[in-house]
Amino acid sequence: MTVALYASLIAFLFLALSVNVVRNRLKLRVALGDGGKEAMRQAVRAHGNLAEYAPIFLLLLGLAEYQGLPAWGVHLLGATFLLGRLSHAYGVAFRERYSLTGVENLAYRTRGMIVTFVCTVSAAIFVLVQYILTMLS
């Protein structure tokens, strides 16, 4: 089960983002919510965004592997998704929000979300096509 590798790696990313939320809560003395603090909001959203996208992707990746997606395909989708999530988390939680010009820098977030969408849609299409082919045979 190749997908187990990516489930584990994504779990470690999730835990790292969880620790970042706790660290910010202690540092900024915010028990609940974001306390109106930008750093807290960034940490919470980086963590929450992964929690929103990872489960459906991992479910689809597991189904794709079960339906016969070759190991190289699972690795390609899993590694690419993980890199996209790392880019997004960096862009939201750790990168300076504003560039030297004062304009919000969305490059890491944007790339991360595009990669997330492409990987999720690719896995969903594979699963759906395999389902249809199975039903037709």
The string of pLDDT tens digits covering residues 1-18 is 899 999 999 999 999 999
pLDDT digits (tens, 9 = 90+) for 79-110: 999 999 999 998 887 766 555 555 566 888 89
**How far is CA 41 from each of CA 27, 80, 109, rounded to the nearest angstrom?**
13, 26, 15
pLDDT digits (tens, 9 = 90+) for 48-67: 999 999 999 999 999 999 99
Say whether pTM exceeds 0.85: yes
**Residue 107: closest CA among 119, 96, 91, 118:** 91
**Per the structure, how many domains does the chain have?**
1
Residue 118 pLDDT exceeds 60? yes
CATH code, domain carrying 120: 1.20.120.550
Q: Is 34 helix (H, G, I), strand (E, B) or coil?
A: coil
Residue 118 CA to chain centroid, in angstroms? 12
Model confidence band, residue 30 (pLDDT cutoffs 50, 70, 90)? confident
Domain that holds residue 79: 3-136
Crossing angle of helices 71-89/107-136, nearest 10°? 150
